[in-house]
C-alpha cells in the first residue's frame, strides 16, 4: 500500500512570540463542522508557558468522539479530534503503540500512517518522543543527508533549548496529522531529558561542562509538560505515572522508569574489565546485579500499580495493559566473539563506545542490556509480585526503547509465567538488530539472540513501524505494521508480522503467529 507526501498542511510556526499575553478562545464540538458545540472558553498564552495553551474540558460524555480548535483574534487553528474514555460494556479496543521518533534519522512516515487510520482509541507513545543531541551527535549524519537537522543545532540543555526542540518536532506535518487525528497517551523514556538517565544523573550529562543535573532535568520536564497533551502531576514532576480504565475490558497503566526512583545503570566498559570468567560473571549477577537496592519504580509507584491492578481485577476486567519504556523480558547476550571481526568492532565503536566491551562480555552470560529491566532483576521481581498479588492476570506489557520488534514471554525468577511483552520498532531510530549492524551481521545477531533466549519468541530489527494492538474480550491481536522507508516521504506500508494472544486459565499467552519466516516460526515455537 503506497502513500504519497501530505500536501496543503497549514503552516504552523515553530515558535510564537507576542509582545504581551494573548487571549486564546477554545471550542469543542461533537462534529467537525462545529455545529453541535459542547464547550467554549478562554485561556491566556504567555511567556511563562512558552506561549502554549492547555485546557481541561469538563462534562463530556464517555466513549465519545469530539473535535476542538483554538482561535486568536480572527485566526483559527487546524481542527483536532479526540476521544473520551468509555464506561460500561466495551467489546474491543484498538491502540497504536509507537516509540523513538528521532527527527534527523528520517521522516515521520509512521506518524503519517497512523494518522490515516480511523478507528483507533489512542496512540500510546512509549518514550523518546524527542532526542537531545546536537547535529554533531547521534543522528547528525543522517540529518545532514536528508537536510533534516536538529534545532537548535547544539545538544539541548537549557529550558529554551528544550522548548525549541519540542517546537521543532511539533512542526513536522506528519506529527501534526497524528496529533490532530488521535488521542495521545505518552510516557517519557530517557531522551526527553538525556540518554540513559536515572534519578540522579544521565550517561549523556557531564556536570563539569553541562551544569547541574537537577537544573537540566527540571528544564526538560517543564518543556515536556508545556508542549505535551498531558496533565502535570500534583506532586513531584518526576512522578509521571497514571492509569486509565476502559469500561469493563481493561486498565491501561503507564509507568515511569527513569527519573523518580531508578538506580544508576551499569555500563559494559565498567563491568567487563572486572570479569575474567563465566564464574566471575555469575558472581557479579548474584551479588551485585540482584541487590535489593537496585530500584526501578519505587515504593510509591508500586503501591499505585498495585491499586490500579487490584481495582481492575475486582471490577472483572479481563486485561491489564502496561505501557513500559524498556525491555522487561529476560534477554541474555549470545556469544558474538566467533561471529564478529576486529574490523566490525572498530566500525561499531564509531557510533557506540561500549562496543568492544559488549562483544567481549557476550561470552560471559550477561544480559544484553543493563539499561533494561535485566539490569534491575530484583526490581523486576517486585513488579511481578505486585502483579500476581493483586490478581493481575491477563497481563500485556508494551515496550519501546530498542528500535526493534519483540514478542516475549514474561517469566519470574522461578520460571513462572506472568504475561507477554510486545516490543515496538521505532518511528525513525535505527535498530541494533538491523541487517547492516555488526558489519552486516545484525540479522544473524537477532536470530542468535532469539535462539539463545527461551522467553524471546520473535525478534527483528528490520523496518520501522508501530504495533496495531486490538484487544477483545477473549483474545488480542498485535499486528506489526511497517513502512519500507523513512528516507523519503513516499513510502509503502505493510504488515510485517502478527501475533494472537489469548487468556489461558487467566494468563495471557501467545497462541499463534503470522507472517514469520521459516526460521522465525521455528524459533517462535
475-483 and 122-125 beta bridge pairing: unpaired
**Buried (b) or exposed (e) across 201-223, using 16+ Cβ within 10 A?**
bbbbbeeeebeebeebbebbbbb
- The rounded distance, in Å, linking the Cα atoms of 123 and 115 is 10
CB of 442 within 8 A of CB of 423?
no
Nearest to 498 by CA among 519, 476, 483, 514: 514
Joined grid coordinates for residue 468: 496495531
pLDDT of residue 439: 84
Bridge partners for 514 per DSSP? 498
Q: Classify domain 85-524 by CATH number.
A: 3.60.21.70
Q: What's the sign of the alpha-carbon dihedral 23, 12, 113, 320?
A: negative
Contact 419, 448 (CB under 8 A): no
Measured CA to CA in angstroms, residue 137 lies from 229, 294, 409, 420 at distances of: 28, 30, 35, 35
pTM above 0.85, yes or no: yes
The confidence score (pLDDT) of residue 5 equals 78
CA separation for the pair 166, 226 (Å, rounded):
9
- Beta pairing partners, 68: 28, 80
Quote the pLDDT of residue 16: 56
State how far Cα 53 lies from the chain centre: 25
182, burial (CB in 10 Å: exposed 0-12, middle 13-18, buried 19+): buried
Return per-residue pLDDT of the chain as tens, 525 residues: 777 777 544 444 445 566 789 999 999 999 999 999 999 999 999 999 999 999 999 999 999 999 999 999 999 999 999 999 999 999 999 999 999 999 999 999 999 999 999 999 999 999 999 999 999 999 999 999 999 999 999 999 999 999 999 999 999 999 999 999 999 999 999 999 999 999 999 999 999 999 999 999 999 999 999 999 999 999 999 999 999 999 999 999 999 999 999 999 999 889 888 998 889 999 999 999 999 999 999 999 999 999 999 999 999 999 999 999 999 999 999 999 998 899 989 988 888 888 888 888 899 999 999 999 999 999 999 999 999 999 999 999 999 999 999 999 999 999 999 999 999 999 999 999 999 888 888 999 999 999 999 999 999 999 999 999 999 999 999 999 999 999 999 999 999 999 999 998 889 999 999 999 999 999 999
Domain boundaries, the chain: 85-524
What residues does 308 pair with on adjacent strands? Answer: none
CB atoms within 10 A of CB 287: 9
CB 398 within 8 A of CB 186: no
The whole-angstrom separation of Cα 194 and Cα 214 is: 12
Per-residue model confidence (pLDDT) at position 354: 84
SS3 for 322-387 is EEECCCCCCCECCCCCCCCCHHHHHHHHCCCCCHHHHHHHCCCCCECCCCCHHHCHHHHHHHHHHH
CA separation for the pair 197, 78 (Å, rounded): 36
Provide the 8-state DSSP code for 272: G
pLDDT of residue 9: 44
Q: Helix 173-181 and helix 159-171: axis angle, to 10°?
A: 80
Burial class (CB in 10 A: 0-12, 13-18, 19+), 322: buried
Q: How far apart are CA 124 and CA 117, in angstroms?
A: 14
The string of DSSP letters for 159-217 reads HHHHHHHHHHHHHSHHHHHHHHHS-EEE---STTT-TTEETTEETT--HHHH--HHHHH
Amino acid at each position: 500500500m503506497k502513500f504519497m507526501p501530505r500536501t496543503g498542511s497549514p503552516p504552523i510556526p515553530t515558535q510564537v512570540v507576542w509582545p504581551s499575553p494573548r487571549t486564546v478562545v477554545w471550542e469543542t464540538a461533537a462534529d467537525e463542522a462545529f455545529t453541535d458545540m459542547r464547550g467554549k472558553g478562554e485561556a491566556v498564552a504567555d511567556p511563562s508557558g512558552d506561549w502554549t495553551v492547555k485546557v481541561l474540558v469538563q462534562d463530556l460524555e464517555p466513549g465519545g468522539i469530539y473535535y476542538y480548535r483554538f482561535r486568536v483574534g480572527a485566526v483559527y487553528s487546524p481542527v483536532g479530534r479526540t476521544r473520551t474514555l468509555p464506561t460500561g460494556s466495551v467489546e474491543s479496543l484498538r491502540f497504536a503503540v509507537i516509540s523513538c521518533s528521532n527527527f534527523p534519522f528520517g521522516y515521520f512516515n509512521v506518524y503519517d500512517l497512523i494518522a490515516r487510520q480511523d478507528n483507533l482509541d489512542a496512540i500510546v507513545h512509549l518514550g523518546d518522543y524527542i532526542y537531545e543531541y546536537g547535529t554533531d551527535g547521534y543522528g547528525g549524519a543522517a540529518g545532514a543527508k536528508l537536510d533534516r537537522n536538529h534545532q537548535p543545532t547544539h545538544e539541548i540543555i537549557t529550558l529554551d533549548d528544550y522548548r525549541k526542540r519540542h517546537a521543532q518536532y511539533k512542526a513536522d506535518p506528519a506529527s501534526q496529522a497524528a496529533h490532530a487525528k488521535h488521542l495521545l497517551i505518552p510516557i517519557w523514556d530517557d531522551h526527553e531529558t538525556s540518554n540513559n538517565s536515572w534519578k540522579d544523573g544521565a550517561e549523556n550529562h557531564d556536570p563539569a561542562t553541562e551544569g547541574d543535573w537537577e537544573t537540566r532535568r527540571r528544564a526538560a520536564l517543564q518543556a515536556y509538560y508545556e508542549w505535551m497533551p498531558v496533565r502535570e502531576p500534583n506532586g513531584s514532576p518526576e512522578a509521571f505515572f497514571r492509569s486509565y480504565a476502559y469500561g469493563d475490558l481493561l486498565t491501561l497503566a503507564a509507568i515511569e522508569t527513569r527519573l523518580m526512583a531508578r538506580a544508576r545503570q551499569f555500563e559494559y566498559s565498567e563491568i567487563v574489565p572486572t570479569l575474567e570468567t563465566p564464574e566471575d560473571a555469575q558472581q557479579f549477577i548474584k551479588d551485585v546485579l540482584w541487590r535489593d537496592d537496585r530500584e526501578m519504580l519505587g515504593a510509591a509507584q508500586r503501591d499505585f500499580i498495585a491499586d490500579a491492578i487490584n481495582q481492575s481485577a475486582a471490577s472483572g476486567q479481563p486485561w491489564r495493559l502496561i505501557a513500559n519504556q524498556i525491555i522487561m523480558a529476560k534477554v541474555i547476550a549470545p556469544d558474538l566473539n566467533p561471529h564478529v571481526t576486529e574490523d566490525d568492532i572498530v566500525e561499531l565503536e564509531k557510533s557506540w563506545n561500549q562496543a568492544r566491551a559488549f562483544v567481549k562480555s557476550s561470552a560471559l552470560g550477561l544480559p544484553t542490556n543493563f539499561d533494561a529491566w535485566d539490569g534491575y532483576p530484583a526490581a523486576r521481581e517486585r513488579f511481578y509480585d505486585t502483579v500476581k498479588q493483586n490478581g493481575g492476570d491477563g497481563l500485556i506489557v508494551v515496550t519501546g526503547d530498542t528500535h526493534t520488534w519483540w514478542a516475549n514471554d514474561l517469566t519470574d525468577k522461578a520460571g513462572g509465567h506472568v504475561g507477554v511483552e510486545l516490543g515496538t520498532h521505532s518511528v525513525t531510530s535505527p535498530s541494533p538488530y538491523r541487517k547492516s549492524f555488526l558489519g552486516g551481521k545484525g540479522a544473524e545477531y537477532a536470530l542468535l539472540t532469539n535462539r539463545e533466549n527461551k522467553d524471546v519468541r520473535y525478534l527483528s530489527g528490520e523496518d520501522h513501524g508501530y504495533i496495531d494492538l486490538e484487544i477483545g474480550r477473549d483474545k488480542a491481536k498485535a499486528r506489526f505494521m511497517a513502512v519500507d522507508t523513512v528516507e523519503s516521504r513516499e513510502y509503502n506500508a505493510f504488515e510485517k508480522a502478527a501475533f494472537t494472544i489469548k487468556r489461558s486459565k487467566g494468563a495471557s499467552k501467545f497462541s499463534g503467529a503470522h507472517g514469520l519466516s521459516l526460521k522465525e516460526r521455528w524459533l517462535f515455537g
